[in-house]
Chains A and B, each alone.
Chain A
Amino acid sequence: MTQRQLLQVLEEYLKGRMHFVQTMSELASRGQNMKMLKNANVMALLQPLMLDVDPSVQQIATQALGRLVGHSEEMAKELVQGEVLPQIVNSLPKHNNYYKKAATLVLRSVAKHSATLAKAVVDCGTLDSLMICLDEFDPGVKESAIWVLCHVARHNEDLAQAVVDAGAVPFLVLSMQEPEIALRRVAVSALSDISKHSMELAHIVAETGTIAILAQMILNPDTKLKRQVFSVLSQIGKHSVDLAELVVEAEVFPTVFICLQDPDEVVRKNVAILVCEIAKHTSELSQLIVNAGALPALVDFIGENEGSVRLPAVMALGYIAAHAETLATAVIMSLGIPQLTQVLSNEAEENYVRAATAWSLGQIGGHSSEHAVAVAGENVLPKLLQIYTSPDSSDDFQNKAKNALKNILQKCVHLPALEPLLRDSPQNILKHVVIQYSKFKHQLSPARQVLHSHTRPKTSSLWVANVLELSRFISLFLILNAVC
């Protein structure tokens, strides 16, 4: 065989490998081919090609493997068991940018499925090689490296701590300020995944001056970036009062309400979550937010949106009202209650939103008699009662409705509002209603008329089971009757 023939054969072999690898890569990018590929045991064929002589075959094989593994968890486990990962990780720093991108794609696909797989990835020493990748100039390589960090840190606190210990946070903060939008997005989402687990991690993220940079990115026109920015801010602010104060000091607050009316739903939801997490902590923070104009923004937000997007806003109103009586009055005066009752009655699918609304109403009405009157004025109490007594509300929902009713009833002295409750309420609620009525024993006519029409028929029927309750009830009844 001459030299030329040998070269020809070798070139054909190379072409064959390239063709195979490219087709696999294309097939793997579509989800429906996964089963076929798995049955054909393509993984075992691709693994040795990753160590091929020709660099382009190597790169495309790695890319194909990355895509394959991304679609199914069993393949990821197989890959980890085949102990290919350490080789990929070790060769990461040596090869060119395409290989780096493909290799990081593989690592990312393995790490995203579960915490054990992510741990396996970290154990191979990925984080150090990734730090080297982050040093590169090419933004595509940086982006893929940060994606891996994102997926690793997402699962649990230890992994996020490992990522932080490898020194990733300064790189992420620098990448956030790069001009490429995709890089920024992914850096911000990595920070969000790191800071969501615990207070120390959030502290580490916040102390590098990140919050100021994030605050500047709020009015960036890119939607996905905004989603991630608000999600980071809410993750940082949720852990402790100091962190929430840090977020507020970055002067995000009046500007954030503009984004409550962003056309993208996820952005709006994330903004509402941010407001809710910050209002949760102390009454001073709630007051700060209210002074910045949160109430009209939240109330309008509840009115204009549907479904689970409203949940954080409803909870935010509840938290604000729960802290102080003045704030609860402010919520009432900003016409919060009509909106909340509308949610309670109109929300068809999401019962947890209605449960949160019931809770919020309870918080608002529980401060004093004026608050209870304001809440009861919108015909809320019969609705709450109906929710409590209906058999198809979930336990959690019933609990919340009951607590809300109790809270409001303990302060409500407005008799017309209490009237509808006398008819069908169960014992424990009726007890509170009657106690409220007994406070009016010194007044004559309104109590008398109502009593005659409602309580007499009730006691004549034998729905009172518990003896203690009966005695208590009778004693109260006697007190009331002494009036008549």
Chain B
Amino acid sequence: MRYLHDAATTIQRHWRGFFQRKSFHVLLRNALHTRNMEFYNCKAFNIQKIWRGYYVRKYVHNYYARKIYLETLMVANQITRIQLKEIVGSKACEWDRRFRESDEQRMDRLACRTHYLVSTRQIPGIYNSPFLKEPMDMERRLIEARPRINAERFLISARNSTRDWTEMSYQKPCSIPHIRAKKPQGPFLEQSQIWRHRLKPLEPTLRVATSFTSAEEAALEQKREEWRTRVIDDAFLPFANHRKNKKYEPLLQTSCAFGSIDYGTHHFRDTDTTKNISKKPFKTITRTIPLFEKFGKMYC
């Protein structure tokens, strides 16, 4: 019995050894594999650590870039302050001047309206107090005030608005239109008409307004246009046969500005009266341009 046990144990012993020796290789390989992986992982961690640090320092929160940004911002702020001061300084002079001017104008207008407060020899005015050494500034303005006519008032307002002088047209003052109260006896023209004609701005006729050298200028312009736009001198004419490859040039005598003349005209500038609407020639009802331009502008 014991012999059998010993034999079985021996067999089992040998078998276990053999089997474990076989799986030992597998174990060894696995252990080697895990050790390699750990090694590579450590190296990978290292790389990732270095990369993350670099990336954050450079792109996400760059301390030195921020520092430089803040420093340059401070410098730029200083420069901006200086520039603003300069510009505002120059503007401040202008603002000051305009303010004072408007003030002056206001006082002058006030003086104009209250000119009756000027002091006379008998009665010193309110601005000429006997207790003062010399009269106030307003007194001087009152003395220098001159009456203004209606026309000047709106001319001044027209001048104040920012307009080109050629665009200034007659602007009726804000007063309401007059009713025809008592007409003065005599063949007088209406006040408004007279003023309109007197204060009319220059309206040059077409002849005056065209430049002296307008013909030459137009020719130059046409030349420039040709130079700009005409790219090809010989137009591409797509015939294979070179004899047909020529541009058709129509006769001067048979063509007019709108194409060729009608078929059936006997000679150049021939007129065919049968095609007219009526027998009589056309009559010009409207006046010619030089005459028409004077319409409404003459003083009558």
Query: Do residues B177 and A296 form an inter-chain contact, with CB atoms below 8 A?
Result: no
Does A48 make an interface contact (CB < 8 A)? no
Query: When A22-B176, A258-B91 are in contact, do A300 and B162 touch as well, CB less than 8 Å?
Result: no
CB neighbors of B among A56-80 (8 A): 56, 59-60
Which of B72-80, B196-204, B232-240 is near enough to bind chain A? B72-80
Given that A56-B176, A261-B88 are known contacts, is A296 also in contact with B66, CB under 8 Å in the complex? no
A369 interface contact, C-beta 8 A: no
Q: Is the CB of A326 within 8 A of B74?
A: no
Which residues of chain A have C-beta atoms less than 8 A from B164's C-beta?
179
**Which 6 A-B residue pairs are closest in the complex by CB-CB distance?**
A293-B80, A296-B77, A296-B81, A261-B88, A179-B163, A263-B95
Q: A179-B162, A179-B163 are in contact. Are A56 and B177 (CB under 8 A)?
A: yes
Whether A15 and B179, one on each chain, are in contact in the complex, defined by CB atoms closer than 8 angstroms, is yes
Chain-B contact segment, one of A143-151, A329-337, A424-432: A329-337
Task: Give chain B's interface residue range (CB within 8 Å of chain A).
Answer: 20 to 34
In the assembled complex, A295 has its CB within 8 A of some CB on chain B: yes
Say yes or no: is B143 at the interface (Cβ < 8 Å to chain A): no
Q: Flag whether A20 is at the interface (Cβ < 8 A).
A: no
Contact of A300 with B81 in the complex, beta carbons under 8 Å: yes
Bound-state Cα–Cα, A263 to B70, Å: 32
Q: With A263-B99, A293-B76, A293-B77 as known contacts, state yes or no: A333 contacts B70, CB within 8 Å.
A: yes
Residue A179 contacts which of B69, B74, B161 (CB distance < 8 angstroms)? B161
Quick one: given A181-B162, A329-B70, are A98 and B80 in contact (CB under 8 Å)? no
A residues near B162, Cβ cutoff 8 Å: 179, 181
CA distance A257 to B77 in the complex (A): 12
Q: Which residue of A lies closest to B171 (CB)?
A: A140
Give B224 Cβ to nearest chain A Cβ, in Å: 30
| Cβ of B84 under 8 Å from chain A | yes
Interface positions, chain A 308-342, Cβ under 8 Å from B, are: 326, 329-330, 333-334
- Determine the chain A residues whose CB is within 8 A of the CB of B88 once the complex forms: 258, 261
A291 at the A/B interface (Cβ < 8 Å)?
yes
Question: Are A261 and B161 within 8 A (Cβ)?
Answer: no
- Chain B contacts for A261, CB-based, 8 A: 84, 88, 92
Q: Is A297 an interface residue (CB 8 A)?
A: yes
Q: Mark A362-379, 1 if CB is under 8 A from B, else 0.
A: 000000000000000000
Inside 8 A of B77's CB, which chain A residues have their CB? 293, 295-296, 334
Interface string of B136-165 (1 = CB under 8 A from A): 000000000000000000000000011110
Identify whether the interface residues of B are mostly helix, strand, loop, or mixed.
helix
Please give me the residue from chain B that is nearest to A295 by CB atom: B77
Indicate whether A14 reaches chain B with its CB closer than 8 angstroms.
Answer: yes
Instruction: State in angstroms the CA–CA spacing of A404 and B162 once bound together.
Output: 51
Chain B residue numbers with a CB within 8 Å of A300 are 81
Query: CB of A18 within 8 A of chain B?
Result: yes
A-B contact pairs, 30 of them (CB 8 A): A56-B176, A56-B179, A60-B176, A98-B176, A179-B163, A180-B163, A181-B162, A221-B94, A258-B87, A258-B88, A258-B91, A261-B84, A261-B92, A263-B92, A263-B99, A293-B76, A293-B77, A293-B80, A295-B77, A296-B77, A296-B81, A297-B80, A297-B84, A326-B66, A326-B69, A326-B70, A329-B70, A333-B73, A333-B74, A334-B77
Q: Within 8 Å CB of A221, what residues of B?
A: 94, 98
> Which A residues lie at the B interface, using CB under 8 A?
14-15, 18, 22, 56, 59-60, 98, 179-182, 221, 254, 257-258, 261-263, 290-291, 293, 295-297, 300, 326, 329-330, 333-334
- Chain A residues near B94 (CB-CB < 8 A): 221
Residues from chain A with Cβ under 8 Å of B91 in the complex: 258
Instruction: Please give, as numbers and ranges, the residues of chain B lying within 8 Å of A290 by CB-CB distance.
Output: 73
CB distance from B265 to the nearest CB of A (A): 48
Q: Which residues of B contact A98 (CB under 8 A)?
A: 176-177
From residue 86 to 105 of chain B, which have CB atoms closer than 8 A to chain A? 87-88, 91-92, 94-95, 98-99
C-alpha spacing A22/B175, complex, angstroms:
11
Given contacts A258-B87, A290-B73, A333-B74, contact A14 B80 (CB under 8 A): no
Is the pair A334, B176 in contact by a Cβ cutoff of 8 Å?
no
Q: How far is the CA of A11 from the CA of B73 in the complex (A)?
A: 79
Question: How far, in angstroms, from A96 to B94 measured CA to CA in the complex?
Answer: 41
Q: A14-B179, A263-B95 are in contact. Are A180 and B161 (CB under 8 A)?
A: yes
Residues of the B chain whose Cβ atoms lie less than 8 Å from the Cβ of A59? 176
Select one of A257, A263, A326, A329 contacting B84, CB under 8 A: A257
Q: How far is the CB of B203 from chain A (nearest CB, A)?
A: 16
Report B-chain residues with C-beta under 8 Å of the C-beta of A56: 176-177, 179
Closest to B73 in A: A330
State A261–B90 Cα separation when bound (angstroms). Answer: 12
**A15-B178 Cα distance, complex, nearest whole Å:** 11
Asked whether A258 lies within 8 Å of B99 as measured between CB atoms, the reply is no
